[in-house]
Amino acid sequence: MVSAILLAMLVVCATAMAVGAVELVRNGKPRATIVAPSEGPPSYAAEVLQRYIERMSGAQLPIVPDGRKVKGAKVIIRVRKGAAKLDGFRLKSSKDEVTIEASVPRGCVYGTYALLEELGCRFYGPEPLGVVIPKKKNLSVRVGLDILKEPAFENRLPSFGGPELNACWGFNFTGYSKDPKRQEFVKRIGLKTWRWGHIWPQLIEYQFFADGRPPVKMDYSDKQDWLPADEKGVRRPNPSWDAPAGQSLCFSNPDAFKWFVENAVNWVFTNCPDADYVSMWSADTADLSLCQCEKCKQRGWTPTDWYIHIHNEIWRALKARGFKGVFGWIAYHGSEEPPQQVKLLEDGREMDLLYAPRPRGASMHGPITNDHSVNTAYRENIQRWRKYLSDFKGTMTVFEYYFDLVLLGHLPAGRTFLIPKPEDMKEEMRFYLSQGFNGFFDCDPPSGSFFPDPLRKWIYRKLLWDVNLDIEAAKRDFFQNYYGPAAKIVREVREEVERLMFEDIKWPMWSPAHYADRPIKRLRELETRLDEAIAKVGNDEILRQRIEVMKLWVRYCALAKESEYHVKITRDREKGRQVEQSIRKLFEENKDFLVKTGLLTEGDVRFLAEQVTNYNLSVYFGGK
Ligand SMILES: [Zn+2]
């Protein structure tokens, strides 16, 4: 009798479920069909959906081409004009039907990942530790779902990962490749491609050819008048660290100028003829050294005037030769300030400005909106560019340095991946949007690093889509899904570590030895607290590894703090050196484990073990 009532109740519940939800999988068996066009990004999206639903439940949902009649529940993936702005998407569900729609084909891919998140998946970082794929025998989508997502930044360029990962993470560009197979794959996902860099030095060192054959070393022996003149009037190359053959030519010399422009065009047609976006930069020096001859000086141009003048001519020639992409320049170091005299060709139509405030030190002084003098300087410079670009017909992309350990590696909170704070990124992105920027790139060597967990880089990517992101809600989502039953302890530990890392070690009045090292002691205690967290996750290997990585990070933080202690309190170079050696050892000994987690690449571990420690040794402790 009791069991009959129970059974009746279960039937009622099951019916209620079916009314309020579109059933995709029941008991590990498919209950729905994916309907999508058989080509292009929507078809790729259908495969992504099929693959992850199978990983979750074991059920493989059939995919049928659109236009065919389908019985029962469906997930429809399609392009519909007006569905969402830019490459955004709309995700809706009604009785028996889930639809993923976008105005631009690749939007269907983002919409599919959003549906997978609705089903419980998370794509925080690289596999294996960075993703959450819950195992479920039953999968359904509640009726009445209506999610519209449109990206805050139209152009989103990644610094890490291949096309598949780039699309999964909401970027809409991927690095250009000449490999036809990869090109086809990128097209299928619907991503745009780009290629950029400090190309000028190559254009001086080598001769490139229109037919794309390998370049040859340029011989200037009978072209001495092409070489730039130094301040004494002597014509010779002007090398720098990344431009051994020289940074520039005598650009007022018509033959040298013409050759250089042609060489640049040939470079594009050799390396990336069909990229969607190419940006060419001069040498990577703080001050671009240009020719000092009378004819060059006569023009009274700044380095940026020369840069834009040459850029215009390359662009004109590229278009004449049929190049279809966008052609960008960079405001960086030598070309940081806008030109004084030279105007952009056709008001910069199909051009892109990359704004790279590198000397701001990767947000180490807080958001660009605060009153720190470098931030003020960069805000003023943006206003000068905006004035210069008042009739601009092109686009503007931010070239930020979040997580850049080349810039942050000497700061305890920087080298431990705590700069910038999520709130600072949010503040900055809102500012950049208000200034008319519609693209974003983050230069973040070592760029494969998601240490100690992918939280910050995940928030960064979410902000590219939504500058009003509720950061606290995002953190809750992350800790719950990523650390499971250990979420509370890990979050407490992580946040206390963060406070301690930002706390300045100060010289106390009387007994420095007693008090100044307290944060270090506390950090060591926090490391042992994570053993409690490990005990909570039982034999879940993935969760255990995530906490093991966190433990290593807390140990690293304690050492980084100890290094700071020797810099500021003991001034003991020998002890400081020992601490840096311990950091090196920590990464070397755990290299295999860290690489296996996917949260650091081998190169990144080396970067932390060598570049970062060497930098600190030479800056603070007098040698390697
Ligand atoms: Zn000259």
Rg of the chain over all Cα atoms, to the nearest angstrom: 28
Q: What is the mean pLDDT of the chain?
A: 95
CA distance 195 to 176: 6
Residue 220 CB-density burial (10 A; 0-12 exposed, 13-18 middle, 19+ buried):
middle
Residue 287 Cα to ligand 1 middle (Å): 17
Cα 58 vs. chain centroid, distance in angstroms? 33
Residue 289 Cα to ligand 1 middle (Å): 11
Residue 204 Cα to ligand 1 middle (Å): 15
- C-beta separation of 102 from 37 below 8 A: no
Residue 249 Cα to ligand 1 middle (Å): 7
The model's pLDDT over 455-481, given as tens digits with 9 standing for 90+, comes to 999 999 999 999 999 999 999 999 999
* Mean predicted confidence (pLDDT) in 111-120: 98
Statement: residue 94 has pLDDT above 50 = yes
pLDDT for residue 10: 47
Q: Which residues surround ligand 1, an ion (CB under 5 A)?
A: 250, 252, 291, 293, 296
Residue 235 Cα to ligand 1 middle (Å): 9
Residue 311 Cα to ligand 1 middle (Å): 17
Among residues 315, 330, 304, the alpha carbon closest in space to that of 268 is found at: 315
Straight-line distance from the first to the last Cα atom of the chain, in angstroms, rounded to the nearest whole number: 80
Residue 246 Cα to ligand 1 middle (Å): 14
Residue 449 Cα to ligand 1 middle (Å): 44
- C-beta separation of 515 from 522 below 8 A: no
* Mean predicted confidence (pLDDT) in 71-87: 97
pLDDT for residue 18: 47
For Cα atoms 141, 142, 147, give the angle at the middle one, nearest 5 degrees: 85
Higher pLDDT, 139 or 5: 139
pLDDT for residue 514: 63
Among residues 130, 117, 114, 169, the alpha carbon closest in space to that of 454 is found at: 130
pLDDT for residue 233: 96
Q: Where are the domains of the chain?
A: 21-150, 157-475, 483-620
**CA-to-CA dists, residue 229 to 200, 273, 301, 310, angstroms:** 18, 34, 16, 18
Residue 209 Cα to ligand 1 middle (Å): 25
Q: Which range, of 6-10, 378-382, 440-444, averages the lowest pLDDT?
A: 6-10
Residue 230 Cα to ligand 1 middle (Å): 9
Using DSSP, how many helices (H) and how many strands (E) does the chain show? 23, 21
Residue 210 Cα to ligand 1 middle (Å): 26
Residue 256 Cα to ligand 1 middle (Å): 10
pLDDT for residue 374: 96
Residue 366 CB-density burial (10 A; 0-12 exposed, 13-18 middle, 19+ buried):
middle
Residue 228 Cα to ligand 1 middle (Å): 6
Residue 251 Cα to ligand 1 middle (Å): 6
- C-beta separation of 132 from 481 below 8 A: yes
The model's pLDDT over 397-451, given as tens digits with 9 standing for 90+, comes to 999 999 999 999 999 999 999 999 999 999 999 999 999 999 999 999 999 999 9
pLDDT bin (cut points 50, 70, 90) of residue 515 is confident
Q: Which is it for the CA torsion 176, 179, 182, 188, positive or negative?
A: positive
Residue 326 Cα to ligand 1 middle (Å): 30
Residue 207 Cα to ligand 1 middle (Å): 20
Statement: residue 8 has pLDDT above 60 = no
Residue 290 Cα to ligand 1 middle (Å): 8
pLDDT bin (cut points 50, 70, 90) of residue 16 is very low
The model's pLDDT over 572-617, given as tens digits with 9 standing for 90+, comes to 999 999 999 999 999 999 999 999 999 999 999 999 999 999 999 9
Residue 225 Cα to ligand 1 middle (Å): 8
Residue 153 Cα to ligand 1 middle (Å): 41
For Cα atoms 508, 512, 515, give the angle at the middle one, nearest 5 degrees: 80
Residue 352 Cα to ligand 1 middle (Å): 28
Residue 232 Cα to ligand 1 middle (Å): 12
Helix (H, G, I), strand (E, B) or coil at 183: helix
pLDDT for residue 5: 52
Q: Which range, of 204-208, 355-359, 492-496, 530-534, averages the lowest pLDDT?
A: 355-359
pLDDT bin (cut points 50, 70, 90) of residue 14 is very low
The model's pLDDT over 255-267, given as tens digits with 9 standing for 90+, comes to 999 999 999 999 9
Higher pLDDT, 287 or 383: 383
* Check whether domain 21-150 has CATH 3.30.379.10, yes or no: yes
Among residues 111, 71, 105, the alpha carbon closest in space to that of 93 is found at: 111
Name the class of domain 157-475.
alpha beta
In single-letter form, the type of residue at position 462 comes to: K
The model's pLDDT over 158-183, given as tens digits with 9 standing for 90+, comes to 999 999 999 999 999 999 999 999 99
Residue 308 Cα to ligand 1 middle (Å): 16
Residue 309 Cα to ligand 1 middle (Å): 14
Residue 292 Cα to ligand 1 middle (Å): 6
Residue 263 Cα to ligand 1 middle (Å): 18
Percent of the chain whose predicted confidence (pLDDT) is above 90? 92
Residue 252 Cα to ligand 1 middle (Å): 5
